[in-house]
Amino acid sequence: MSTPQERTVAEAPSLQELQQRALAAASPKAHDAGAAIVCDRLVRIFSAEGVEVQALQGLELTIRQGDLVALVGASGSGKSTLLTILAGLDVPTAGTATVAGCDLLEMSVKERLRYRREVVGFIWQQTARNLLPFLTAAENIALPMQLRGRRSGAGGAKQQTARVAELMEALEIGGLAHRKPNELSGGQQQRVAIAVAMANNPPVLLADEPTGELDSETAGIIFESFRTVNRELGATVVIVTHDPMVAGEVRRTVAIRDGRTASEVLRRTVTDEHGEESVNEREYVMLDRSGRVQLPVKFLESLGMEHRVAVDLAADHIEVRPDDLAGH
């Protein structure tokens, strides 16, 4: 068997070449075409009573147009902080974030308002927070279009009514048009909330724990509504969730740890030679622009790795081993 060094010399590209390739691949520029969301070294520091909390610590994330992505992570890992920045409700301390071509750090107050009305839809966990209590479901859905108010007059009103009906049909809430939120179940309220968020046909839909207050059966129905919005209305959808069922059903699940994207799971359906379909699942860790990776805790623990590891370059992979000189 050849040593790692021999293999490096004989067959592999140099470490420098590999590093350059990796950096090019991790550069957001390489992904920008077709990307709905690009975050680069995003930082958000909160100062509360003299204590600084680094909620986002150089987060990098690229989400392609038309994707349906679940965002998971422990409590306090920065999921809501990220989502409120992407929704235009909060501004990052440093880094860059672009959503549907809009630079979230450069927007004026007016642009930010337009961004929140037309570019992103947002759904909160608390069902009551998403709807105005004194308006019916149909009026709630029409409101964002009225606030946008580009086309007034009979033609505009007709278009709005048609759009409300179209959304209600797509989300299967057609019979609820005249009910007020307190006459709707939690699940029905969330489906109306999705229609409200999609009223102005934004390219991106964000939801923070949208099924957090619902039982699992209702959560399944809501999740199906997100799929509909993604598939039929063409929106890029990002859902923060603790629900393993939701996370298990999307093609891509991104995990956030300590304010950074740490790993992701990609799923694809494969068909074998007998025509049998199965879901192929693979976990990836993120490689940032400086070449840093965050290894899964369970891997590190199972091999007792900490502080320092030995890294060797092989022909087509990199080997990470426990530090054999520990204690020296």
Ligand X SMILES: Nc1ncnc2c1ncn2[C@@H]1O[C@H](COP(=O)(O)OP(=O)(O)OP(=O)(O)O)[C@@H](O)[C@H]1O
**Contact region with Mg ion (CB under 5 A), list: 72-80, 127-135, 167-175, 305-313:** 72-80
Shortest Å, Cβ 77 to Mg ion: 9
- Closer residue to Mg ion in complex, CB, 80/263: 80
Which of 116, 105, 132, 128 lies closest to 190 in space, CA to CA? 128
Of residues 76-95, which lie at the interface with Mg ion (CB under 5 A)?
A: 80
CB of 129 to ligand X, least distance (A): 14
Can you spell out the DSSP letters for 159-205?
A: HHHHHHHHHHHHTT-GGGTT--GGGS-HHHHHHHHHHHHTTT--SEE
User: Which residue bears the tokens 């679940």?
Assistant: 70
What's the burial of 280, exposed, middle or buried (CB within 10 Å: 0-12/13-18/19+)?
exposed
Residue 9 or 53 with smaller CB distance to Mg ion: 53
Q: Which residue matches tokens 């090019």? A: 24
- Closer by beta carbon to ligand X, 48 or else 109: 48
Residue 73 found at the interface with ligand X (CB under 6 A): yes
| Residue number, nearest CB to Mg ion | 80
211 is a contact residue toward Mg ion (CB under 5 A) = no
Q: Between residue 121 and residue 150, which ones bind ligand X under the rule CB under 6 A?
A: none
Q: What are the phi and psi torsion angles at 13 (to 5°)?
A: -65, 160
The footprint of ligand X on residues 74-93 (CB under 6 A) is: 75-81
Cα separation, 216 vs 245, whole angstroms:
9
Tell me, residue by residue from 15 to 54, as one string, x for binding to ligand X by CB under 6 A and - for no binding: -------------------------------x-x----x-
Residue 322 within binding range of ligand X, rule CB under 6 A: no
Distance CA(223)–CA(200), nearest Å, equals: 21
Q: What are the residues binding Mg ion (CB under 5 A)?
A: 80
